[in-house]
C-alpha cells in the first residue's frame, strides 16, 4: 500500500510540475564576461588599427526574461582602451607626431536583448540595444612629439594648445548596440560571445581633437566571451525527487 501511495504521489507531482513549468521557471539570469576593449578615433588610421592595441575589459550583467525572445538587462563593465601613433608607419607623420593615450573606463548601462529565434535551442543569436554612462579617466601623452617636423602645421601649432587647455571628459553618455550568440552547455549554464559598439558624441575620449582630427568622433567597442547562469525553479510542493 505504501509503495502504491508513493507511486501515485510521484505521478501526480510530475504531472503538476510539468503543467506549471512555465510559471515556476525563473526568468532571472546573471553573467560574467572577459574580452578586449578597442578604440576607434583620431589615433586609428584604418578599420583594423584598433586590434594593434587592445585593452582588457571585464563585465557583469543581470537580466530578466520577459518573453521567450525578449529580456531586460543591466550591465556593469570596466577596463581600458588605448592607442599609439608609433604603431603605424603609414602615413609617415604618425611616427613623428607620436600621440598616445590610455583611458580607464567604468560603464553602467541597461537595455534590451532580443533573440529572434527564441531561447528554445542549444544555439541562440541575439541583438542588444540600450543606454548608459561611461565614467572615464583619460591619460594622454604628447611628450614625444617632433615639433620641428610640424613647425608649419597649424593643426599642431594651434590645435594642440587648444586640446591641452580643454577640460577632459569624466562622464560620457553612451548608446551600446551589439550582437551575440549564446550556446547552452547545460540547463543552467550557457556560453556567450558578444560584440558591442558604443555610440557617443565626444572627440576627447583619447584626449586629442583639434590637434588631430576634429571632424572624426571617438568611439569604443568590445569583443567578449562569457558565461551565463540561469536560475532554476524551486520545488515548492515538496514533491519527491
**Best CATH choice for the domain 25-230 from the list 1.10.260.40, 3.40.1190.20, 3.40.50.300, 2.40.160.20:** 2.40.160.20
pLDDT at residue 119, as a whole number: 76
pLDDT at residue 80, as a whole number: 97
Non-local (6+) Cβ contacts of 22 within 8 A are none
pLDDT at residue 16, as a whole number: 43
pLDDT at residue 118, as a whole number: 85
pLDDT at residue 26, as a whole number: 86
Per-residue confidence in pLDDT tens, the chain, 241 aa: 554 344 444 444 444 444 444 445 789 999 999 999 999 999 999 999 999 999 999 999 999 999 999 999 999 999 999 999 999 988 889 999 999 999 999 999 999 999 998 877 789 999 999 999 999 999 999 999 999 999 999 989 999 999 999 999 999 999 999 999 999 999 899 999 999 999 999 999 999 999 998 888 999 999 999 999 999 755 444 454 4
* Contact criterion met (CB below 8 Å) for 54 and 84: no
Amino acid at each position: 500500500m505504501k509503495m502504491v501511495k508513493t507511486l501515485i504521489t510521484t505521478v501526480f507531482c510530475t504531472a503538476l510540475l510539468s503543467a506549471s513549468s512555465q510559471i515556476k521557471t525563473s526568468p532571472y539570469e546573471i553573467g560574467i564576461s572577459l574580452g578586449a576593449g578597442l578604440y576607434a578615433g583620431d589615433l586609428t588610421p584604418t578599420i583594423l588599427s584598433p586590434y594593434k592595441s587592445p585593452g582588457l575589459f571585464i563585465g557583469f550583467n543581470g537580466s530578466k526574461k520577459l518573453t521567450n525572445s525578449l529580456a531586460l538587462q543591466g550591465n556593469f563593465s570596466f577596463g581600458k582602451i588605448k592607442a599609439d601613433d608609433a604603431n603605424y608607419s603609414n602615413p609617415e607623420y604618425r611616427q613623428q607626431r607620436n600621440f598616445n593615450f590610455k583611458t580607464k573606463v567604468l560603464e553602467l548601462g541597461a537595455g534590451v536583448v532580443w533573440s529572434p529565434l527564441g531561447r528554445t535551442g542549444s544555439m541562440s543569436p541575439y541583438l542588444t540595444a540600450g543606454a548608459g554612462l561611461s565614467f572615464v579617466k583619460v591619460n594622454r601623452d604628447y611628450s614625444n612629439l617632433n615639433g620641428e617636423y610640424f613647425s608649419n602645421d597649424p593643426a599642431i601649432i594651434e590645435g594642440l594648445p587648444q586640446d591641452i587647455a580643454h577640460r577632459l571628459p569624466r562622464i560620457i553618455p553612451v548608446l551600446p548596440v551589439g550582437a551575440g550568440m549564446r550556446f547552452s552547455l547545460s540547463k543552467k549554464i550557457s556560453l556567450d560571445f558578444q560584440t558591442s559598439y558604443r555610440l557617443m558624441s565626444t572627440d576627447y575620449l583619447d584626449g586629442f581633437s583639434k590637434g588631430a582630427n576634429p571632424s572624426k568622433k571617438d568611439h569604443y567597442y568590445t569583443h567578449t566571451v562569457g558565461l551565463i547562469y540561469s536560475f532554476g525553479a524551486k520545488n515548492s510542493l515538496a514533491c519527491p525527487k
